[in-house]
Amino acid sequence: MIIKNTEKTANKATIVVEIEKELMNKGAEIAYKKQRKNIRIPGFRPGKAPRKMIEKMYGAFIFFDDAIEEIFPEIYDFAIGGNTEFKPVGRPSLENMDIAEDGTTTLTLSTEVYPDVTLGEYKGVEVAKAEATVTDAQVEAELNEMANNVASTENVEDRAAAMGDIANIDFEGFVDGVAFDGGKGEGFDLTLGSGQFIPGFEEQVVGMTIGEQKDVNVTFPADYSAAELAGKAAVFQVKLNKLSVKNVPAIDDELAKDVSEFDTLEELKADIREKKLEKAQKDIDRAFENAVVEAVAANATVEVPNALVELELDNQMNDFAYRLQMSGMSVEQYAQMMGGDMNTMRNAFKPVAEKQALTGLVIAKVAEVEAIEASEEELEAEFAEMAKSYELEVEKVKEMVPAEEIKSNILNRKVVKFLVDNAVVKAE
């Protein structure tokens, strides 16, 4: 192979490479062996026709398109992989293929490349940062949740349903006399006053007695999630099966002993406040980090290649698909449930992918300018930490996770820390 010409613009490179007949013939032979079983030549059984006979009938270079695919890794390594003038993004595309009479082939390849990044102000950027606080109301809300979690329930039989009761009901909804999907339930526990059902429903269950059946008339909100029901008048046939009340314990020292290792309510309150303050501080620190990086990225000048955005999109979609899979759902199912398709999903993720692509470029440039690197010692420490976390041997983790991926994560963290350490905090 011979590189005949290379041209590079801001974020694209075009390479013209000449491939000698012997290498093309090697690729064509591989392509022929893969395809011959599907080619019919009179007088030959399927898969038995000689290559020369096929080429004579269909053209001397019939296998050359597929030959390119077969030898493309070699072409890539020679023409692009070892090039020090640019760093490619994604898979190159074939712009043109010219085959000479002697079988020598000239390819014109193009690839998007990592662009030049011009950093603006990246040290000393001013970013607002909130102060971590925890209110008494937040502590009280946590205590109420603890009390509710250990509350007991007691059946009620001698009175009508009231707000705050747990009503066990059967129900079926009708619009214009026709039952609609999702409008039926049996043995459903509804806490009256919780607002779990559409406005007006729970209020009409109040006053019912056990065993009573009643028509509940309501109107779906105009902005209801199911468009076919939005704004429609509906009738629900409701039967009250059972009535119970939740006995929530008093928030006192006895509750503290029941739900924690503390003996007094004041000790429990102090612990809740401390933990909430710690979480609030972590959230604020994370938000500050993100704001600093975004500010630095906004100050930079760079044209983000579309191929890089697409790579980030693929990563975002794969990560989301994995998390959905853990809950037993596919991305396709989720997209349909949300009233869209895979293109809709990709478009929804695109703004995040664009931001991630820009951030990655800027972080890499800061690392280059400030000579920030991920050392081998840091890499080994990261592998050791992962092995401990997953309870695996270090060597096993190294087999599972690429070292370059770990190094990239370490480098990103170090650059972000550098930017945060050099940022100027403004009071929010």
Q: Is residue 147 part of a domain?
A: no
183 and 280 belong to one structural domain: no
Q: What is the per-residue pLDDT for 39? A: 79
104 and 163 belong to one structural domain: no
CATH number at residue 274: 1.10.3120.10
Cα–Cα distance list, 394 to 117, 377, 407 (Å): 37, 14, 16
Decide which of 83, 113, 143 is a domain's last residue: 113
What strand order describes the sheet that includes 105-113? 2-8, 12-19, 105-113, 88-99
230 and 318 belong to one structural domain: no
Decide which of 215, 247, 279 is a domain's last residue: 247
- How many C-beta atoms lie closer than 10 Å to residue 245's C-beta? 15
Domain count along the chain: 3
Cα–Cα distance list, 331 to 312, 319, 322 (Å): 17, 11, 9
Residue range 251-297, pLDDT digits in tens = 999 999 999 999 999 999 999 999 999 999 999 999 999 999 999 99
Q: Is residue 292 part of a domain?
A: yes
Helix 51-58 and helix 21-35, axial crossing angle in degrees, nearest 10 = 100
Which range of residues forms the domain containing residue 384?
Answer: 265-427
Residue 167 CA to residue 239 CA, distance in Å, equals 10
41 and 189 belong to one structural domain: no
229 and 307 belong to one structural domain: no
Residue range 283-342, pLDDT digits in tens = 999 999 999 999 999 999 998 988 899 989 998 899 888 888 888 888 888 887 777 788
272 and 385 belong to one structural domain: yes
Amino acid at 419: L
Q: Can you give the pLDDT of all 428 residues of the chain as single tens digits?
A: 777 777 877 778 888 888 888 888 888 888 888 888 877 787 787 778 888 887 787 877 787 878 788 888 887 887 777 777 788 887 788 888 888 877 788 888 888 888 889 999 999 999 999 999 999 999 999 999 999 999 999 999 999 999 999 999 999 999 999 999 889 999 999 999 999 999 999 999 999 999 999 999 999 999 888 888 999 999 999 999 999 999 999 999 999 999 999 999 999 999 999 999 999 999 999 999 999 999 999 999 998 988 899 989 998 899 888 888 888 888 888 887 777 788 888 888 899 999 999 999 999 999 999 999 999 999 999 999 999 998 999 999 999 999 999 999 999 999 999 999 999 998 77
Q: What is the per-residue pLDDT for 171? A: 96
Residue 428 CA to residue 184 CA, distance in Å, equals 50
272 and 401 belong to one structural domain: yes
Q: What are phi and psi of 243, to 5 degrees?
A: -135, 135
358 and 314 belong to one structural domain: yes
Q: Is residue 76 part of a domain?
A: yes
CATH number at residue 63: 3.30.70.1050
Q: What is the per-residue pLDDT for 247? A: 93
Q: What is the per-residue pLDDT for 141? A: 96
CATH number at residue 196: 3.10.50.40
Q: Is residue 34 part of a domain?
A: yes
Does the pTM surpass 0.85? The reply is no
419 and 302 belong to one structural domain: yes
Q: Is residue 387 part of a domain?
A: yes
Decide which of 218, 247, 276 is a domain's last residue: 247
- Is the alpha carbon torsion for 367, 368, 369, 375 positive or negative? positive
Q: What is the per-residue pLDDT for 407? A: 93
Q: Please name the residue that has the structure tokens 């950027």.
A: 125
Q: Is residue 187 part of a domain?
A: yes
Residue 209 CA to residue 285 CA, distance in Å, equals 54
Q: Which residues contact 344 (CB under 8 A, 6 or more apart)?
A: 335, 338
- How close are the terminal C-alpha atoms of the chain, in Å? 61
92 and 228 belong to one structural domain: no
